[in-house]
Chains A and B, each alone.
Chain A
Amino acid sequence: MASDDVQAVMDARADAAVARRRRAATVRNVSLAVGFVVLVLVVNVFAHGNFLEPANFSHVLRQIVVNTILGVGQTFVIITAGIDLSVGSVVGLCGMVMAMVANTLHLGGPGTFLVTLVVGLAIGCGAGWINAQPVVRLGLPPFITTLAMMQVARGLAFILGHGQSIPLTDSGPFDWLGSGYIFGGIAGFPGIPWSVLVMAVVAIVFAIVLGRTAYGRYVLAVGGNEEAARLAGIDTRRVKTLVYVISGGCAALGGLLLMAQFSAGTPQAGTGAELQCIAAVVVGGTSLMGGRGTIVGTFFGALLIGVLNNVMNLLVIESYTQQIVLGVVILLALVLDALRKRYLAAR
């Protein structure tokens, strides 16, 4: 009886805490959204109405596909207080290998696509697994092991094509992914780019993995306190190995998308992508110290950077200036986040 009462009180309190957190999140999101809309309208005026064109909207989303997908994998790595610098090079390497595989296969469309995809994922995940080994077995810093992989994978990508791109002899099996649309043709709606759909699926699946599954919880626990996680019976090596494998797999997907877009494997594809996606992850609120982060945040981080690039292109801002603005915005986002946290902590 008494314990039932306590139970009821505790339940009510838990509900209240959750509701409070939801309310705070709603307020934050609504104010962000309002600010965003105002910004969009202003930009639209300056860009002579080009910004709010549906075609431009779809263009922005297509631009951020690869960065978001790499960011998803990177989010897992960064939550464990790690970092994966190799993703950009793995994008290039996987693109080259997949182009070679596609060019040697004669299985017809879907067969060629599937085998190419599987080989690419195997290379990407394999690279991630290799990244993880020195980290989990010897305790080496992931900054170094993935930096090494960054060099090796890029070098391999160039060697495979003798420094040249490898054009697809038959781009048929990949064109839908590179430039195709789905759900189009209704009332003039151009449809959704296939690549954007792939990005959405990847982001949603991994958001669920992180937020709803035991593995996701373990990733957060390992990042928050690795020793406590280990003593709670969690196989921390496996958890950490898997985040690098996920990151490598995401890089392979990124490589596939770029290859489909260019109808070729390009050895320099993905150059600098590691820093772009780390920026998206961090702007999205994931802590480099580990233990905290969300996929949704990463998506919005990538979106913010993508919109910014797009706006600056529409306003015909010089590319050197664009770099400066981007850098300042990333810093500003982090400073604002830090100030917000300090404000919340001080209350």
Chain B
Amino acid sequence: MTVAAPDAPLLVMRGIVKTFPGVRALDGVSFDVRAGEVHALVGENGAGKSTLMKILAGAQPADAGAIEVDGKPVTIDGPRTAERLGIGMIYQEFNLVPDLGVIENVVLGVEPRDGLFLDKRAAGSEVAKVLGELGIALPLDRPARRLSVAEQQLTEIAKCLVRHARLIVMDEPTAALTDREIDALFALIGKLKGQGVAFVYISHRLEELPRVADRVTVLRDGKAIETRPIAQMPQEDLIRLMVGRPLESHFPDLPPVAADAPVELGVRGLSADGFVPVHDLSFDVRRGEVVGLAGLVGAGRTEIVRAIAGADIPTAGEIDVGGARVVIRSPHDAIRAGIAFITEDRKAQGLVLGMTVRENTTLAHLDRFERGAFIDKPAEIVATNEEIAELHIRTPSSEQTVRNLSGGNQQKVVLGKWLIGDARVFLFDEPTRGIDVGAKAEIYTLMVELLRNGAAIVMVSSELPEALGMSHRVLVVRDGRIQAEFARADVTPDKVIAAATGVAGAAPQGCA
């Protein structure tokens, strides 16, 4: 393996073109990465980041363009070739075998052999050596399914390292990490940079880029718009370049809650045995109010909204909607009571990916489209087109399969599914996770719209700026209990973090 001259690009991609039916995903993109550099790649969903990286990883062929590694032209015709060239890929959804341990996962496909048999001892020492050099502690025998998200990510990084990757692509690596885990990840990236490893870093969390990246390239509509050192790229410029227009503010103004606004959702003594048990929880949400549930990942926030939505069955407690007691034993009961639950994981829980926009939009309220024994499809199309227009869903038609839409547009389809009903209580679980800045702003605007129409909103958010910027009140959750409550006027990031971690006066971390 040749060693690159200092500052000579490790990787150059030139004039890359990729066309899908009806879409020019990449329109002559040029991009380079130097050894020991973190090069951030940003852009709205659908800008072409994933496609560009899939071409680099050999998962898809380019239609035109050239790739050079160490100044030599190469043809990447498959994942194996990419691996041999020292390119490692860590997708947002990890590629680990759930029942295999850390060691087996790390050496999967490159197992050391002793004659005919696997050499487990050599595998173990090799993995231990790679991890040891970086000062990473991992439970080496634990199956991947029982690892935390951060541990799975470290396993993926170790996978790249035993394959001698010199360039590691990370797609949204911090999306599911706690602030502390993010710090550890950044420290690790710094250490690997020192050893000459380069990174392509894809993220929607613009505020973290100055902490980790050296340069940044903005992609928009399949074109590389601009590349600059991160120090010369203020966040406002970044956003402007990404969306192609200035965004006035991240968050819209929340309309104040009327003084005499009635309680729309009342929760008393709610307990549930979810993934994280919820204990004896009580709170009210008034008409026109957003209550934000803040806290660390795994604090029980999702479990709270799941119990209210009937996704998990509460073991105790009472729920009132619009002043009337409701009994919720299933999602069906919750929907009938006027509760809409916009789930965190749209692919696993929100959408049937193989169905069309229309079929997904009407799924929760299909009874309204029944005429006699049959579904009235023209009525479905009319209703779906209304949502497409109102939510600016970018789709060729209501008959498009949602699998083919970008993340932000998929999330809008999930919203459309609930907007065609007449819910009065909306439970949003991480409503903007993994979607781009433009779609985020649209979703915030929509939430304000809902408030004006008299809705009550509960929003779970792990992004502190969002939790503070889009809530009238913030409830901080830890261990399935409400630890603190702050009004909009006197909430600060430090107070929330202190309550969330249980440490008085904890320093604010990872918030813009």
Contact = CB atoms under 8 A, between A and B. Distances in A.
B348 A227 contact: yes
Given A213-B375, A231-B309, A292 B354 contact: yes
Given A3-B389, A214-B370, A230-B331, A291 B399 contact: no
27 contacts: A10-B385, A10-B398, A16-B397, A17-B400, A18-B399, A21-B399, A212-B375, A213-B374, A214-B366, A214-B367, A214-B370, A217-B359, A217-B363, A217-B366, A220-B352, A221-B363, A228-B349, A228-B352, A229-B363, A231-B349, A231-B350, A232-B331, A232-B364, A233-B334, A233-B335, A291-B352, A292-B354
Contacts of A291: 352, 354-355
B263 interface: no
Nearest to A222: B352
Contacts of A6: 389
A160 interface: no
A298 to B, nearest CB: 18
Interface of A: 3, 6-7, 10-11, 13-14, 16-18, 21, 208, 212-214, 217-218, 220-221, 224-225, 227-235, 291-292, 347
B21 interface: yes
A235 B333 CA distance: 11
B331 A212 contact: no
A227 B311 CA distance: 9
Nearest to A225: B352
A347 B19 CA distance: 9
B488 interface: no
Interface in B75-100: none
Contact of B397 (A17, A213, A217, A221): A17
With most chain A CB atoms within 10 A of its CB, the pick from B334, B375, B386 is B375
A221 B366 CA distance: 12
Given A220-B355, A227-B348, A233-B336, 6 more contacts: A208-B374, A213-B375, A225-B352, A228-B349, A232-B335, A234-B332
Contacts of B311: 230-231
Contacts of B386: 7
Interface in B360-396: 363-364, 366-367, 370, 373-375, 381, 385-386, 388-390, 396
B20 to A, nearest CB: 8
Contacts of A3: 389-390
Contacts of A225: 348-349, 351-353
Contacts of A234: 332, 363
Contacts of B353: 224-225
A291 B359 CA distance: 12
Given A231-B309, A233-B335, A14 B352 contact: no
Contacts of B375: 212-214, 217
B406 interface: no
A224 B349 contact: no
Contacts of B388: 10
A11 B417 CA distance: 19
4 closest A-B pairs by beta carbon, nearest first, are A224-B352, A232-B364, A13-B397, A14-B397
B504 to A, nearest CB: 38
A217 B365 CA distance: 12
Interface string B98-136: 000000000000000000000000000000000000000
Contact of A10 (B336, B343, B389): B389
Given A221-B355, A233-B331, A10 B397 contact: yes
A234 B399 CA distance: 22
Contacts of A18: 397, 399
Contact of A212 (B330, B332, B374, B400): B374
Nearest to A13: B397
B354 A11 contact: no
A235 B332 contact: yes
Given A221-B355, A347-B21, A235 B330 contact: yes
B428 interface: no
Contacts of A347: 21
A218 B363 CA distance: 8
A291 B417 CA distance: 19
Nearest to B345: A227
A214 B331 CA distance: 18
A11 B397 CA distance: 8
Given A7-B386, A213-B373, A217-B359, A14 B381 contact: yes
B363 to A, nearest CB: 5
B81 to A, nearest CB: 19
B289 to A, nearest CB: 24
B426 interface: no
B444 interface: no
Contacts of B364: 232-233
B385 A7 contact: yes
B341 interface: yes
A232 B363 contact: yes
B271 to A, nearest CB: 21
A10 B383 CA distance: 11
B397 A224 contact: no
Contacts of A17: 396-397, 399-400
B352 A229 contact: yes
Interface string B236-262: 000000000000000000000000000
Contacts of A231: 309, 311, 331, 341, 343, 349-350
Contacts of B373: 212-213
Contacts of A229: 352, 363
